[in-house]
Amino acid sequence: MYVDVHSIMTKTMTVTQLRRYLFDVMEATKVNKQITNVMLHGELIAEIRPKTEDKVGWEQQRDNMRNTRKKLLKNFDFKSVEKARMDSKKERFTEW
């Protein structure tokens, strides 16, 4: 068997070895938090690592972005932006 269940470390293996020991590698990743580097023709092509939990949940991140947007747009002057946009068109498109 490839995986040493009691070691927590980074392992490096070839694609051929990964194909042979895939389930053992997945178990070691899940149980031991092992990181496995995968090599193809001597080049590192992939890394298998345990899934980490987000420090900030997606819902909380979305709410933070919405609140920030509201704060930014609270005193935003849309008329000046529209005027600047129209003024820039005048110089570029004189036939309009």
In order, the DSSP letters of the chain are ----TT--SEEEEEHHHHHHHHHHHHHHHHHH--EEEEEETTEEEEEE------SS-HHHHHHHHHHHHHHHHTT--HHHHHHHHHHHHHHH-TT-
On whether residue 3 sits in a domain, the answer given is no
Q: What is the pLDDT of residue 91?
A: 65
44 and 63 part of one domain: no
Which residue bears the tokens 């995986």?
A: 3
What is the pLDDT of the chain when averaged over all its residues?
82
**Among residues of the chain, what percentage have pLDDT more than 90?**
43
Q: Is the pLDDT of residue 5 over 60?
A: no
Total number of domains in the chain: 2
On whether residue 37 sits in a domain, the answer given is yes
* Mean of pLDDT values over 81-91: 76
Which residue bears the tokens 């051929």?
A: 16
Q: Which structural domain range is residue 63 located in?
A: 58-92
Q: Is the pLDDT of residue 1 over 60?
A: no
